[in-house]
Amino acid sequence: MIIRSKKASDISSSEITPPEIYSGRRRFIRDAGLGLATLALGGTTLSNEVSGQSQEIPARFRNLKSELGEELNSYRDITTYNNFYEFGTDKRDPSRNSSEFEPEPWTVSIEGHVNKPGNYELDDILAPVTMEDRIYRLRCVEAWSMVIPWYGFPLAELIKRVEPTGNAKFVRFETVHRPEQMPYQKTGVLPWPYVEGLRIDEAMHPLTTLVTGVYGTELPNQNGAPLRLIVPWKYGFKGIKSIVKIEFVDRMPTNTWKMANSFEYGFYSNVNPEVSHPRWSQARERRLPSLFKSHETLMFNGYGEEVSRLYAGMDLHRWK
């Protein structure tokens, strides 16, 4: 078990997150209004020109870097360059086509081998948890990457609360299916709804995060509002967006990309520079906004120290 706060450059959530937004953050922002929030936090305005939104970026993000000393990507980069096929297959489509999407109210159905199944209101899910900033590298299987300050809480906190039984070997997640608000769900480019999965120990790992925001502000629709998954040592497509269902199952679920193309995408999808993908060499990546694909990809996306024990004794060339 790792203790993240022991890392020298980690920011402790209690230091930087004002207590009023530890819980019920969405409600806080809604009630206080963005202007007041800005005054309170002394933030700067960064605009997201494509979707016409303007977001207040809290001052605590100034000069902040990742634990490896990497610069953060801009709010604009993070919110205008997205793979979210429900809104279109071009990277700019999600920010352009997601304005009609309604992330509120939101309910998550928790099912399967748990003692406390049921429909949970998002506000209820967020009420008892400790929200914190998590600066993670996001490595896409397409060989580009960003450094993103997510805002969320460990998935483990929710899992413990719903009490999985001994039969819960895997966790299966599902994205919402709303073809009227997600135009590409009317096409057959992928089998809908989008499905992802984790082994229960991966899901319980402290790095695995349920995200509700970015740069300390509400998660935009194009980034998977109102609730998405981030598993920083895996390729980006494992980070399922707009989650409406979390199911505890005894068999390995089939994730959407594996369903679409089992030859190229596996269940584990750990970032691994040694395991080549038929389309993209995974040895290097383009660290946006750099033009050159010259950034060396790290095993487990640089989180090997924390997660390699999960795969002890497994042949990672076989379990892709």
Binding site for other proteins (CB under 8 A): 73-74, 76-77, 80-81, 85, 89, 91-92, 142, 144, 187, 189-190, 260-261, 276, 278-281, 284, 286, 288-289, 291-294
Q: Tell me how far CA of residue 277 lies from CA of 20, 93, 163, 286, 298, in angstroms.
A: 45, 25, 37, 16, 15
Shortest approach of other proteins to residue 81 CB, angstroms? 5
Shortest approach of other proteins to residue 24 CB, angstroms? 32
Shortest approach of other proteins to residue 253 CB, angstroms? 19
Shortest approach of other proteins to residue 317 CB, angstroms? 15
Alpha helices in 4-105, H assignment, sequence order: 13-16, 25-41, 75-80, 93-97
Alpha-carbon gap, residue 55 to 220, rounded angstroms: 10
Nearer to other proteins among residue 149 and residue 226 (C-beta): 149
- The long-range contacts involving 48-51, CB below 8 angstroms and separated by at least 24 positions, are 48/75, 48/76, 48/79, 48/80, 48/95, 48/220, 49/76, 49/80, 50/79, 50/80, 50/92, 50/95, 50/96, 51/79, 51/80, 51/95, 51/96, 51/98, 51/99, 51/220, 51/222
Joined tokens for residue 51: 């979707």
Shortest approach of other proteins to residue 238 CB, angstroms? 15
Shortest approach of other proteins to residue 285 CB, angstroms? 11
Nearer to other proteins among residue 178 and residue 293 (C-beta): 293
Cβ neighbours of residue 168 closer than 8 Å, sequence gap 6 or more: 112, 113, 114, 200, 248, 249, 250
- What count of other Cβ atoms lies within 10 Å of the Cβ of residue 236? 21
Nearer to other proteins among residue 110 and residue 214 (C-beta): 214
Shortest approach of other proteins to residue 288 CB, angstroms? 5
Nearer to other proteins among residue 113 and residue 139 (C-beta): 139
Nearer to other proteins among residue 134 and residue 295 (C-beta): 295
Alpha-carbon gap, residue 28 to 38, rounded angstroms: 12
Shortest approach of other proteins to residue 135 CB, angstroms? 18
Q: Report the amino acid identity of residue 188.
A: G
Cβ neighbours of residue 276 closer than 8 Å, sequence gap 6 or more: 282, 283
Nearer to other proteins among residue 110 and residue 143 (C-beta): 143
Q: Tell me how far CA of residue 116 lies from CA of 109, 120, 164, in angstroms.
A: 11, 10, 8
Nearer to other proteins among residue 145 and residue 217 (C-beta): 145
Nearer to other proteins among residue 142 and residue 201 (C-beta): 142
